[in-house]
Chains A and B, each alone.
Chain A
Amino acid sequence: MTNRIDATFAGLDRPALITFITAGDPGIKASQTILDQLPANGADIIELGMPFTDPMADGPTIQASALRALDAGASMKTTLQMVRDFRKHNTATPIVLMGYANPVFQYGYDAFIRDASAAGVDGLIIVDLPPEEDDALHALASAADIHLVKLVTPTTTDARLQAILPKAGGFLYYVSITGITGAASANVEAVKKHVESIRKQTDLPLAVGFGIKGPGDVREFAAFADAVVVGSAIVSEANKEDGNVSAFVKSLSAALR
């Protein structure tokens, strides 16, 4: 079977919408409902955050989201269960688990890849696991046809890119700013220039994320990227009293069509 991420990019003739939610926020059931509805609302790929107490690359929105999820009883086990439940009615939409190394390390790399693969996970983004430290996880993931999605940033030089690319799979996640999630918006021209230079060195689809807040941003970045990632803005919407995640995700998706 082809990895769902590869199949999704191969089958789209427009940029993809990648949506991030934290597994278990604002509660495990509520989060499952949001997850289950994301494809119908226009999400092409889903990033599901594995909550962690110390999310060093995340801004206040996702920090709070992770802590709410943990308070609601979320764990690595409940996150994998959410994927299994999602797969009961959706076998096409790729799921990428995103998080930090320690909970995965404690689960055991071996056991984690086995259970993630059985649950129907297609990719992993481990923010604090650079290529220098990911040999063990990369070998296990490759054998299970799970992609390690790698982050590339404004500080990534060509030399550094050569260290990252050999282990990158699925797509490259271009972090549009030097900073944390949910921070100020990026300079579109600067991002475009860097993305175009990276494109010369890889055939992987290029997704742009961090600081993308609404349909306007989505449209701007989609003009040159293969996918656009929205995270903090969706998490905020899910926790607003009068928030409407479905309508918001639909508006993001409409900007790509």
Chain B
Amino acid sequence: MLKNSLPDDRGHFGPYGGRYVAETLMPLILDVEKAWADAKSDPKYWAQFDELMRDYVGRPSPLYFAEPTTKKLGGAKVYFKRDELNHTGSHKINNTIGQILLALRMGKTRIIAETGAGQHGVATATVCARFGLPCTVFMGATDIERQKPNVFRMKLLGAEVRPVTSGAGTLKDAMNEAMRDWVTNVHDTFYIIGTVAGPHPYPAMVRDFQSVIGKETRAQMLEREGRLPDLLIAAIGGGSNAMGLFHPFLDDASVKIQGVEAGGHGLKKQHAASLTGGRPGILHGNMTYLLQSEDGQITEAHSISAGLDYPGIGPEHAYLHDTKRAEYVSITDDEALEAFAMCTKLEGIIPALEPAHAYAQVMKMAPMMKKEDIIVMNLCGRGDKDIFTVAERFGVTL
């Protein structure tokens, strides 16, 4: 039973995961683990989570039959899991609700978070506004420049956005800085990590919150088609939307799983494809696949999508990759842009650049599959935040 057996009690998914943090953080992380174990078995905690998911986030999100895409590609039936319709416009809110309830349970009075595209930052700032906790979001200076609407959104919500100028000023650097803040403010601060990475229990905990995506998909698909889908496709930066969709299906051998990494300028040039272009190493509290030099120095990732621009990946994905339960592929910036344009015109849905990578993979897979086959793609975020980036690439001045 793949679904229920991992991680082990020290957070290992095979050789991956674990807890690689400075000693100052260990007692706190052990506290988080204890609090999470306690919350997990408390029906009251889940009742509050479920109520917020329904009334505040707007779940369940629909499972939509993408008929125009299906017709155009001429192969498998394509469904979208519409997580871009969630409050705040992406799947990130599923996780921030779960974690802020835990932070409150632990009596923490201050929240920090890292963000790349700004979706997790917005989702964190949102729940902090809702529950009245001060919020500091660390964001790379480069990302602040390319995601201005989300930066303003976070500020409106009352969060402090702290620019990070070290390194390339992207998600990796924001995460370093968030860890530095956390180690300094261990006593009152809860760190809401945005993806299925970091020290145990974060990868498993974030997965459990995001699994709402896959659980709903499973029920909706059974109701609609009377059977499970044949292929799941989702984009991967750290891998939280993908793990959320995949996890409830891990033990269903008939369901194929594909994770789509950001191929950037191409795998021989600059990219953000940790699994297809990296190798195992240790960063940000876990062992996983990383983009790195021979000397073990972490190299800068590149993707047109700020949310995928990260040199690592969640450890459970590393494990699924090695065991071949899931297949990991990559899509370049150009392919993602083409998919972005096609999805927008064909479906009347502007996807975020992250799921545009998944859509590009759907464009490759669907025509090769039979008409009775079914693909579910996680449309994990809406593209409003990306219109400036896309306009620039299309040579349009806004």
Chain A contacts to B: CB under 8 angstroms? 52-57, 59, 63, 70, 75-77, 100-107, 127-130, 132-133, 150-157, 160, 164, 175, 178-180, 183
Q: How far is the CA of A130 from the CA of B167 in the complex (A)?
A: 26
Given A106-B294, A175-B23, 5 other A-B residues pairs in contact with their CB atoms under 8 A: A54-B284, A77-B295, A155-B24, A155-B25, A160-B27
Q: Are B296 and A76 in contact (CB under 8 A)?
A: yes
Q: Are B183 and A180 in contact (CB under 8 A)?
A: yes
Partner of A180, one of B26, B180, B296: B180
Residue of A nearest to B25 (CB): A155
Q: How far is the CB of B72 from chain A (nearest CB, A)?
A: 43
Listed residue (B27, B28, B282) with the most chain A CB atoms within 10 angstroms of its CB: B282
Chain B contacts to A: CB under 8 angstroms? 10, 18-28, 30, 166-167, 172, 176, 179-180, 183-187, 281-285, 290, 292, 294-298
Interchain Cβ contacts within 8 Å, total number: 108
Contacts of A54 in B (CB 8 A): 167, 172, 176, 283-284, 298
Q: How far is the CA of A102 from the CA of B289 in the complex (A)?
A: 11
Q: How far is the CA of A156 from the CA of B281 in the complex (A)?
A: 27
Q: Are A150 and B23 in contact (CB under 8 A)?
A: yes
Q: How far is the CA of A180 from the CA of B250 in the complex (A)?
A: 40
Q: Are A133 and B20 in contact (CB under 8 A)?
A: yes
Residue of B nearest to A157 (CB): B27
Q: What are 20 A-B contacts defined by CB distance under 8 Å?
A: A54-B298, A56-B179, A56-B180, A57-B180, A63-B166, A101-B282, A102-B281, A102-B292, A103-B296, A103-B297, A105-B281, A128-B282, A132-B19, A151-B24, A154-B24, A155-B26, A155-B27, A178-B184, A178-B187, A179-B24
Q: How far is the CA of A105 from the CA of B284 in the complex (A)?
A: 14
Q: How far is the CA of A150 from the CA of B23 in the complex (A)?
A: 9
Q: Are A180 and B20 in contact (CB under 8 A)?
A: no
Q: Are B296 and A127 in contact (CB under 8 A)?
A: no
Partner of B297, one of A53, A59, A132: A53
Residue of B nearest to A56 (CB): B179
Contacts of B19 in A (CB 8 A): 130, 132-133
Contacts of A183 in B (CB 8 A): 184
Contacts of A100 in B (CB 8 A): 282
Q: Are A128 and B281 in contact (CB under 8 A)?
A: no
Contacts of B30 in A (CB 8 A): 160
Instruction: Check A151/B297 contact, CB under 8 A, given A53-B167, A180-B183.
Output: no
Q: How far is the CB of B8 from chain A (nearest CB, A)?
A: 11
Listed residue (A55, A104, A129, A152) with the most chain B CB atoms within 10 angstroms of its CB: A129
In the complex, the 4 A-B pairs of residues with the closest C-beta atoms, listed nearest first: A106-B296, A103-B296, A179-B184, A153-B24
Q: How far is the CA of A105 from the CA of B187 in the complex (A)?
A: 31
Instruction: Check A132/B166 contact, CB under 8 A, given A102-B296, A152-B23.
Output: no
Residue of A nearest to B27 (CB): A155
Instruction: Check A56/B295 contact, CB under 8 A, given A156-B27, A178-B183, A179-B183.
Output: no
Listed residue (B26, B284, B294) with the most chain A CB atoms within 10 angstroms of its CB: B26
Instruction: Check A128/B187 contact, CB under 8 A, given A75-B295, A155-B27.
Output: no
Q: Are A127 and B183 in contact (CB under 8 A)?
A: no
Contacts of B292 in A (CB 8 A): 102, 106
Q: How far is the CB of B25 from chain A (nearest CB, A)?
A: 8
Q: How far is the CA of A54 from the CA of B299 in the complex (A)?
A: 10
Q: Are B22 and A57 in contact (CB under 8 A)?
A: yes
Residue of A nearest to B290 (CB): A102
Q: How far is the CA of A178 from the CA of B292 in the complex (A)?
A: 29
Residue of A nearest to B28 (CB): A155
Contacts of A75 in B (CB 8 A): 295
Residue of B nearest to A160 (CB): B27
Q: How far is the CA of A40 from the CA of B295 in the complex (A)?
A: 32
Contacts of B176 in A (CB 8 A): 54-56
Q: Are B297 and A70 in contact (CB under 8 A)?
A: yes
Q: How far is the CB of B131 from chain A (nearest CB, A)?
A: 25
Q: Are A156 and B23 in contact (CB under 8 A)?
A: yes
Residue of A nearest to B31 (CB): A155
Instruction: Check A178/B24 contact, CB under 8 A, given A130-B19, A132-B18.
Output: yes
Contacts of B295 in A (CB 8 A): 75-77, 103, 106
Q: How far is the CA of A106 from the CA of B281 in the complex (A)?
A: 7
Instruction: Check A102/B282 contact, CB under 8 A, given A53-B167, A56-B180, A107-B296.
Output: yes
Residue of A nearest to B173 (CB): A54
Q: How far is the CB of A209 from chain B (nearest CB, A)?
A: 13
Q: How far is the CB of A198 from chain B (nearest CB, A)?
A: 13
Q: Are A57 and B183 in contact (CB under 8 A)?
A: yes
Contacts of B186 in A (CB 8 A): 155, 178
Contacts of B298 in A (CB 8 A): 53-54, 102
Contacts of A55 in B (CB 8 A): 176
Q: Are A128 and B172 in contact (CB under 8 A)?
A: no
Contacts of B283 in A (CB 8 A): 54, 102
Residue of B nearest to A76 (CB): B295
Q: How far is the CB of A137 from chain B (nearest CB, A)?
A: 11
Q: How far is the CA of A257 from the CA of B286 in the complex (A)?
A: 44
Contacts of B22 in A (CB 8 A): 56-57, 127-128, 151, 153
Q: How far is the CB of A240 from chain B (nearest CB, A)?
A: 21
Residue of B nearest to A79 (CB): B295
Residue of A nearest to B10 (CB): A132
Residue of A nearest to B200 (CB): A132
Contacts of B187 in A (CB 8 A): 178
Contacts of B290 in A (CB 8 A): 102
Q: How far is the CA of A127 from the CA of B295 in the complex (A)?
A: 18
